[in-house]
Amino acid sequence: MTKKPSGRRRADVQINLLESFELRSRSSVRQSQLKKEARAELKAQKRAAKLARKNPSFVPETSTSSKAMIPGLARIPFRKNSTVRSAIVMSVTAGFIATAALPAYAFSPAVTAMSGLTGALDGADAQTITIARQSAIDFERGSYGVMSASDLERMNNRNNYLSYKGLTAFDYAANPTYTELNPDDIMKVAAKYVGTPYVLGGENANGLDCSGYTRLVFAEFGILLPHSVNAQSHDPHLRRIPRSEAQPGDIVILNDHSHEGIYAGPGMFFHAPFSGDRVKLAPIFTDSYFIARVIK
């Protein structure tokens, strides 16, 4: 059997074990320190590469020590970065210019056509549209709303009607264009106002309703009719006649006094139909009417 060490030999063995343990501990600490320095060096290299990508002119300082610190670039505040500011200013400016240059035909075609902003034949190329007139609309700050094309047209027609400065029915009646009630002349005057927009209560060349239209036409012959279908049907200047005797220039009046126009031949009459439409030559759309002739 092996004898246990005793005395001096036993003490030597214990010392050797302590020294071995100490050496292993020092080696482990050294290895840990080397790994830590390697990680620090790797991080420094990554930071240097990142700075180099942001600033190509940056040259990192070389150092023989693994603990050398790589100086960083001073961070430039966003508001002081001239490159970023210039890019933003140019983008915003380009947007304003593009908006200001937006042509009239970029809006809804119905709104553009009915509002009178453009003048073009049906089917015309959008690039050939020309400005016909300019309309100004005042809005209160902070108020807005949606307006349909028909509403916009009615507003424009009303504004044009109120701004009319030409001759009125009173002016024509005081100084007639024609002295005799000739059917051909009545047709000529009636056709002159074709295309005039319908304006409720209108009686001038910028806007007419049905009774305002007949009033204006016959005013050019020195006869000032009242501005009402019902009142005209009872006016002493009108005489009811059989349909078989109707001739161009007579007045077509619906039986319920809701509408009227100027007879233009079998089944046809000139009239101002309704809001959104214009004075036109059209078929008489009902059989419930009678004929009245204007006399002096």
The model's pLDDT over 14-41, given as tens digits with 9 standing for 90+, comes to 556 666 666 666 777 788 888 888 888 8
CB 212 within 8 A of CB 168: no
Q: Which of 254, 249, 279 is nearest to 265 (CA)?
A: 249
At residue 235, the pLDDT reads 97
Residue 100 has pLDDT above 60, yes or no: no
Question: Does residue 27 sit within a domain?
Answer: no
Q: 57-73 b/e with 16+ CB inside 10 Å = b?
A: eeeeeeeeeeeeeeeee
For residue 111, what pLDDT is reported? Answer: 40
125 or 44, higher pLDDT? 44
The string of DSSP letters for 131-186 reads E---------TT------HHHHHHHHHHHHHHT--S--HHHHHHS-S-SS--HHHH
User: Do 286 and 224 touch, CB atoms closer than 8 A?
Assistant: no
CATH at 214: 3.90.1720.10
Asked, for residue 80, whether it belongs to a domain, the answer is no
| C-alpha dihedral sign at 182, 186, 188, 189 | positive
In tens, the pLDDT along 44-98 reads 888 888 887 777 665 555 544 444 454 555 555 655 566 767 777 777 777 766 6
Domain for residue 198, yes or no? yes
- Predicted pLDDT of residue 22: 66
What is the domain range of residue 182?
169-294
- Show the tokens assigned to 108: 């809804």
Pull the structure tokens for residue 204.
């001038």
The residue that leads in pLDDT, 51 or 262, is 262
Q: Is residue 197 part of a domain?
A: yes
- 109 occurs within a structural domain: no
**Could you read off the pLDDT of 185-234 as tens digits, one per residue?**
999 999 999 999 999 999 999 999 999 999 999 999 999 999 999 999 99
Q: What angle do CA 177, 181, 183 make, to 5 degrees?
A: 110
pTM exceeds 0.85 for this model: no
Residues 6+ apart with CB under 8 A from 19: none
Report residue 194 as tokens: 């074709």
249 belongs to a structural domain:
yes
**Residue 277 placed within a domain:** yes
253 and 213 Cβ atoms separated by less than 8 Å: no
Q: Give the pLDDT confidence score for residue 180 in this predicted structure.
A: 95
Q: Fill in the DSSP letter of residue 79.
A: G
Confidence of residue 8 (pLDDT cuts 50, 70, 90): low
225 assigned to some structural domain: yes
- As for how many domains the chain has, the answer is 1
